Structure 1
Amino acid sequence: MVDHKKEVNKDNELTYKVGVAENKNARFRRTMEDVHTFVKNFASRLDWGYFAVFDGHAGIQASKWCGSHLHTVIEEKILDDETRDIRDVLNESFVTIDKHINSELTGSSGCTAAVCVLRWEVPDDISVDNINLTQHKRKLYTANVGDTRIVLFRNGSSIRLTYDHKASDQLEMERIESAGGLIMKSRVNGMLAVTRSLGDKFFDSLVVATPFTTSVEITDQDEFLIIACDGLWDVIEDQEACEMIKDINDPNEAAKILVRMALEKGTTDNVTVMVVFL
């Protein structure tokens, strides 16, 4: 098994490497509605990272806007109060973005979202200018709506850090029905397969933007993250995807392998895969 880990050196080399691959899947899709974003040294902090994949539907407006702006909203909220739990920041940011899309953007597009913030947790009494990153904990915070998924490969096993918000999920079915909606053919009001998203103004009272969030400490047992839309996960299981790339030492090549396998296995959706070596 290839060791993807590395230490921050005196030249401030990042401790993570990011690779991305995407394919419109022209056999089944006329347009590409996926968008991805990666920001290194996020929030102007050494070795922080922001990673996100958005899967649009009913147009690209929502996913494109999120890809361009969500990280800025999150960064501003972090810098406004750096004592806040990042999960609360992510939750508030998703709700804020949803309101903006529904009030400001034309059309009725929406998107699923999977977002990661990777950062170092630093004691309050240590100056940012004097951080020795190897002495402090690295934390990963995630948030998602819909069925775009984040999977962590730890000690040979896949760990899903997201929750698939689908109309076939029992808890989501109960929430939709209690809000006055109907689930028909595993779709909200017979139309939308996901039960949480950003945008989708016509379903606004039913399809909410409140994300599922997690916080996990990154350790030496953690090798990489896979962040991908359902174009991958519809045809490849979490552990299977991890096994496919565990011996690859280039994140771009790893992402390309997963996209290629999704197409070979017959996915009918756009495919976007981001791989982050930790």
Structure 2
Amino acid sequence: MNGREILQKMKVKAGFGTSSGGDRGKGKGKMLKNITHGFHLVKGKSAHAMEDYVVAKFKQEKDKELGLFAIFDGHLGHDVASYLQNNLFDNILKQEDFWTETESAVKRAYLITDEKILEQSFELGRGGSTAVTAILINGQKLVVANVGDSRAVISKNGKPKQLSIDHEPSKEKTMIESRGGFVSNIPGDVPRVDGKLAVARAFGDKSLKMHLSSEPDVVVETVEEDTEFLILASDGIWKVMTNQEAVNCIRKAKDAQAAAKRLIEEAVARNSKDDISCIIVKFQ
């Protein structure tokens, strides 16, 4: 076992990845045996500690089975991402109208969670985190939300459909400027909010919050017969692969866990230097 594999096991056991499959990084529902998931994380080449956190588990809620899946990609420290791992889904499910007005409930929970993070900025630090979350309800309804540049993609008959929006500063320049901020565009670098942050929406980041948004985009997707799998992944994947390349890479993998590992190995082979995490949910 090499150093990265040892680190992976340590991160999972420490709570960086949680799943009904324990430290194996895979699991399946109790009611929906045909739906399985797997996840994998790899530390990037930067000097800082691993800043990605994962949630991947099934949960019984009243008479429904929920699949709860999320990638939290921290920056300037991992405390905000850790807080999200432990609290965001609880805050979503506490919304009384979650079952009837799902989209508005998820948006409200994101904003409430961000407020709580900002209130605890002394303990959690000055950093922040992006997030992409997916809630699978009874294997039929998929509710995806995101802030930042982690991404959700489903495959239907080998064709990708992106369910999230990459919140890049260049795309949201008008909003940032309307809040009194600016977007830098220095040659050789990516556009950044106030010359610092490479995403236009995020949790935390108290020093930039006046110029950032934490409002998620929310999409509700019906799982159909041709829906093969869902990919949730941090930007360490998407910096080096297109949606179609990611789908092609894992479509023939033997199971969800093998697919997650294979996707990250391909990104590393393409010289992705960032922390990388991904979750695969297979429907067939």
What is residue 149 of structure 2 aligned with on the other side?
A: 147
Could you tell me which residue of structure 1 aligns to residue 5 of structure 2?
none
CA distance in 2, matches of 1:257, 1:45: 35
**Mapping 1:224-243, distance limit 5 Å:** 224-243=229-248
Aligned to 2:17: none
2 CA distance for matches of 1:52 and 1:197?
Answer: 14
Q: CA deviation at 1:13?
A: 4.2
Contact 2:144 2:164 in 1 (8 A): yes
Superposed CA RMSD: 1.8
Q: Distance in 1 between matches of 2:148 and 2:31?
A: 36
The Cα shift of 1:220 comes to 0.5
TM-score, structure 1 as length reference: 0.85
Q: 1:182 to 1:275 in 2, by over 3 A?
A: same
Tell me, yes or no, if the aligned pair for 2:98 and 2:105 is still in contact at 8 Å.
Answer: no
Distance 1:256 1:83, change over 3 A: closer
Asked if 1:63 is matched to 2:81, the reply is yes
Displacement after TM superposition at 1:271 (Å) = 0.3
Larger relative contact order, structure 1 or 2 (CA cutoff 8 Å, min sep 6): 1
1:1-278 → structure 2 map (5 Å cutoff): 12-25=31-44, 27-77=45-95, 80-81=96-97, 83-105=99-121, 106=123, 107-120=125-138, 138-169=140-171, 172-185=172-185, 186-278=191-283
> Which protein shows a greater Rg?
1
- Asked if the contact 1:259/1:271 (under 8 Å) is kept, the reply is yes
CA deviation string 1:59-99 (max 9, x = no partner): 0011000011111111111xx23553211111001101100
Task: Name whichever of 84-93 and 51-60 sits farther off.
Answer: 84-93
- 2:103 and 2:219 in contact (8 A); partners too: yes
What CA distance in whole angstroms lies between the structure 2 residues aligned with 1:111 and 1:12?
33
Aligned residues: 249
Relative distance call for 1:42 and 1:239 in structure 2 (3 A) is farther
How high is the TM-score relative to the length of structure 2? Answer: 0.83
1:156 Cα offset (Å): 1.7
Q: For 1:177 and 1:201, how far apart are their aligned partners in 2?
A: 17
Preserved CA contact (<8 Å) 1:15 1:47: no
Structure 2 residue runs without a partner (length 5+): 1-27, 186-190
